[in-house]
Amino acid sequence: MVTGDLFADHAPADDARIALGEAAFVLRGFALADAAALLAAVDAIARRAPFRHMVTPGGFEMSVALTNCGPLGWTSDRRGYRYATQDPLTGEPWPPLPDVFLQLAGHAAAEAGFPGFIPDACLVNRYVPGARLSLHQDKDEHDYAAPIVSVSLGMPAVFLFGGLRRADKTQRIPLFHGDVVVWGGPDRLRYHGVAPLKEHPHAVLGSQRINLTFRKAG
């Protein structure tokens, strides 16, 4: 990276593929060219499956708002976490995965060494200033051999990347509008989270961050 300006609207376009682990890579700016199409698709998804604050099994309301698209969607309530074919809010199937989502996820995964990635779930997370995601593992998916691909849009965030145990020390990685991260193999079950979002309004999205996470859940 040439500069480290957290206040920039996106990372410097230096084509970098930064290794975070053995099989975890940040692809700086990989989604920049598709950002407008991705955001238009998010708007269309949210009209059918609105963003909502889910409740954890422990009874806490998540500060991040979320929705889903694809055959499976991640949900949480007092009974637990699970993937479901229908949106519990509307009783309807989740909106389909837009083509631009599938293409981008497949290309990014291939770039990081995971060819042939076809996700069946996309979580769409929306952060406003103060929203955070505490350290967790993603283990509600059946197939840990498939990678996870994440796309960051809007305000920058500090991604926390830990180890296989909750107490392991965490790296702090700033993620900007247009960045894509791919996690697989031995890094797939590492603890991770997002630090409380700071207010640095983005030119396109204002005071929000949208994160898309593509998974093979079923």
Task: Enumerate binding residues for ligand MD3 (CB under 6 A).
Answer: 123, 125, 133, 138, 148, 150, 159, 183, 187-188, 190, 192, 194, 211, 213
138 contributes a contact to Fe ion by CB under 5 A: yes
Find the shortest distance in angstroms from Cβ 157 to ligand MD3.
Answer: 6
What's the min distance (Å) between Cβ of 182 and ligand MD3? 9
The reply on whether position 187 binds Fe ion by CB under 5 A is no
Intra-chain end-to-end CA distance of the chain, in Å: 37
Distance CA 11, CA 193 (A): 20
Q: How far is the CB of 14 from Fe ion (least distance, A)?
A: 27
Q: DSSP letters of the chain?
A: -----TTSSB------EEEEETTEEEETTTTGGGHHHHHHHHHHHHHHS--B--B-TTSPBPSSEEEEESSBEEEEETTEEEEESB-TTTSSBPPPPPHHHHHHHHHHHHHTT-TT---SEEEEEEE-TT--EEEE----SS-TTS-EEEEEEES-EEEEE--SSTTS--EEEEE-BT-EEEE-GGGTT--EEEPPPP---BTTTBS-EEEEEEE---
> Does 212 appear as a known binding residue?
yes
Q: Which is nearer to ligand MD3, 75 or 125 (CB)?
A: 125
Least distance in angstroms from the C-beta of 96 to ligand MD3: 20
Q: In the bound complex, which residue of the shown chain has the CB atom lying closest to Fe ion?
A: 138
120 near Fe ion, rule: CB under 5 A: no
Q: Does 141 bind Fe ion (CB under 5 A)?
A: no
- The partner in contact with residue 190, picked from Fe ion, ligand MD3, none with C-beta cut-offs of 5 to 8 angstroms by kind, is ligand MD3
**Closest to 49 in 3D by CA, of 98, 82, 105:** 98
188 binds, among ligand MD3, Fe ion, none (CB under 5 to 8 A by kind): ligand MD3
**140 carries a ligand binding annotation:** yes
The residue ranges that bind Fe ion (CB under 5 A) are 138
Sequence ranges of the binding site? 74, 81-83, 125-127, 136, 138, 140, 166, 192, 209-215
Sequence ranges of the binding site for 2-oxoglutarate? 125-127, 209-215
